[in-house]
Amino acid sequence: MPTREKKKIHSGTKLALTIIIGIFIAIMIITLFNLIVTYFYKVPTYNDFCNGIGASPYTGANPEQCANCTFSTDLQEQTNNCTEANGIAIYDYNDRGCIIDLKECNLCNQNYQNATTVYNRNTFFVYAAIGFALIVAGLFISTLLIQIIALPAGAFLVIEAAIKNFDDKLYIIITFSLLIIAAIFLALKKLK
């Protein structure tokens, strides 16, 4: 086999190996950033807000006694209003086990959802910023391995940011639009 063909095969093998290694390192970088963010910025958990609330109904009476309970439209309306407010109805019971009143409409679930929304919005900006920085690094560093690592890792983190914060569509639309415009501008500047 001539030397020229050996160099061509060696060059192709080296390129393939560079791509494979780059993809594996990109996956490890994505995982590392996810671990770092979740380590330093704890995810809100349901039990932090609603631990044991509404977990079990009153069990002081047997089912035959509960069958003799009367239906209250006022109580049902209060319960419906509580549920619509994303609350958990906490009841008062009589000695037969019948619900006699809505003691409280606990909004721990709403508080949990609010905390989750704030968490998702904040992590969106963290992932989007890190992802965009990786994309810029991939565009301006001329080493092929770094490009193969940084570009897909950055793109994946930006996409992950959007997926994690899909509730705030306006933030995603504005930020993604700005990131896309900036990435296109930088790529065109780099490719000239």
Tens of pLDDT along 86-106?
Answer: 888 888 888 877 888 888 888
- Do residues 123 and 183 share a domain? yes
- Do residues 61 and 27 share a domain? no
Q: Is residue 46 part of a domain?
A: no
Tell me which DSSP letter residue 61 carries: S
Q: Which of 159, 167, 173 is nearest to 131 (CA)?
A: 159
How many C-beta atoms surround the C-beta of residue 192 within 10 A? 5
Amino acid 36: pLDDT = 94
Please identify which residue in the block is written with the tokens 């671990």.
Answer: 35
Averaged over 64-92, what is the pLDDT?
82
Q: Tell me: pLDDT of 177 over 60.
A: yes
Q: Is residue 47 part of a domain?
A: no
- The token pair that represents 15 in the structure block: 């390129």
First-last CA distance in the chain:
39
Residues 6+ apart with CB under 8 A from 180: none
Question: By the 8 A CB rule, do 134 and 28 touch?
Answer: no
Highest mean pLDDT among 64-73, 91-100, 111-120, 171-180: 111-120
Q: Which of 190, 188, 165, 187 is nearest to 175 (CA)?
A: 165
Q: Is residue 136 part of a domain?
A: yes
- Do residues 120 and 156 share a domain? yes
Domain hosting 82: range is: 52-106
Amino acid 55: pLDDT = 47
pTM of the model: 0.70
Please identify which residue in the block is written with the tokens 């565009």.
Answer: 139
- Strand, coil or helix: 159: helix
Taking the C-alpha atoms of residue 88 and residue 23, their distance in angstroms, rounded to an integer, is 47
Q: Is residue 10 part of a domain?
A: yes
Taking the C-alpha atoms of residue 114 and residue 20, their distance in angstroms, rounded to an integer, is 41
- Do residues 122 and 181 share a domain? yes
- Do residues 143 and 155 share a domain? yes
- Average pLDDT of the chain? 83
Q: State CA 187 to chain mean position distance.
A: 29
Taking the C-alpha atoms of residue 121 and residue 20, their distance in angstroms, rounded to an integer, is 33
37 by Cβ neighbours in 10 Å (0-12 / 13-18 / 19+) ranks as: middle
Q: Is residue 45 part of a domain?
A: no
Taking the C-alpha atoms of residue 93 and residue 16, their distance in angstroms, rounded to an integer, is 71
Tell me which DSSP letter residue 166 carries: T
Q: How confident is the model at residue 28 (pLDDT cuts 50, 70, 90)?
A: very high
